[in-house]
A and B are shown apart, each in its own frame.
Chain A
Amino acid sequence: MNSRNRELTAKRKKKRSNRFESTRKRFYRNTGIVQNETNWEVTLDHRRLKTPNGQVLIVRSEPLARAIAAEWDAQNEIIAQPIMHLTALCNTALDNPGKITSHDITSYLIDYFPTDTLLFHSEEEEELKNLQQIKWGPVLEWFQNRYNIIQEVSRKLMPPPVTTETRAVLARHFLSYSFPALNALSFGVEALKSPILMLACVDRHLDPHEAVLLARLEEEYQLTRWGRVPWAHELNQAELTARVSAALLVIQCTSESYSATAKTTNTNSSEERITQ
């Protein structure tokens, strides 16, 4: 009896794991969004989109909900979940599988900061050193002016010293974001390997495309000498840019600072409205 039970659970587990590993086919025709007061939900053929934990996927912003609906609409035949970054970021923010708080992410980012790509300048190659000075210099200057701090760069393997004031300023800034935004921010930082570049993007100082080029500066420099391979370098660049842009969209949509409100209000906006 006992062994049979065990067998059954093993079988069930296998089945479940198979379900997640196998690619799912598109099972819906249309995607849409539903407004429910200030919350927005995504629908697949009138069924509500849910997170892996089974909660209904709720976002606070209309453009984000529309972008997620468009993302599901873009799947033809097979649902390519690994590259649906917007959905994934919203899922993670809602489910919080790591059971982490904003403080955890902040301390992680503060620990990450000394190893920022932009703080490591080449010592050996003169040409690369000049390139880094030209390309990274303005961003570093912008960063220091924006947060009113002074940050040294490293020319060796050891990370440069970071003062306690810098840590405090950055921590305060990171904590001002909401949890979904902060989660997206750390996703973007991990893609760029640089909190400075991500913060520059959030402040609209750089485009995601430019930021990825700056993050891959050394690789780009080496590529001019050794040649470019599409299935490695271009694939990597495309993936990083998609990741960073997705993170930025989530940050912008979840923390709208200067968003404009229309003067003429719709009379039917308070009621639940279904848009296809």
Chain B
Amino acid sequence: MASITSKPALVTLRQLLYELRQQSSTKRLSENQMVLYIFNQYRKHQTTDQQLCKAAEEMHYRAKTYYNYLHYARKYKEINTEFKGKGERSLQETANMVGFKLPHDPKP
């Protein structure tokens, strides 16, 4: 249960890498400092495999939390940009909508 090479932990790793690929500005994932650090941490906790180890459990929980943070922050941004208002219409646009002309427009 506490193992970091267990399936749920690896699923979290894959999710984390997906999120980091979405947001990273570097082209290759191996250049991202956070990705390198995460791999490092996963490798470090690999050695405490079959034991009930608090550090590994804590690490997996932290990985999950970080994934949640990245995922939901991205989702929030996406929903916000999709539904964000464009602001007010200009005078010209409003006039056009109801079929009026502005006073300084030449009459046809």
Contacts and interface: CB of A to CB of B under 8 A. Distances in A.
Interface in A74-120: 74, 76, 80, 83, 85-86
A101 B26 CA distance: 40
B66 A245 contact: yes
A218 interface: no
Task: Identify whether the interface residues of B are mostly helix, strand, loop, or mixed.
Answer: helix
A66 B68 CA distance: 16
B66 A67 contact: yes
Nearest to B53: A260
Q: What size tier do the contact residues of chain B reach?
A: 20 to 34
Interface in B53-105: 54-55, 57-58, 61-62, 64-66, 68-69, 72-73, 75-77, 79-80, 82-83
B23 interface: yes
Interface residues of A, number: 40
A76 B74 CA distance: 12
B24 interface: yes
A260 B45 CA distance: 9
30 contacts: A29-B25, A62-B37, A66-B33, A69-B33, A69-B34, A70-B20, A70-B23, A70-B32, A83-B76, A85-B73, A86-B69, A204-B61, A207-B64, A208-B68, A231-B79, A231-B83, A235-B79, A235-B83, A238-B72, A238-B75, A242-B69, A245-B65, A245-B68, A246-B69, A249-B62, A252-B65, A258-B58, A260-B44, A260-B45, A260-B55
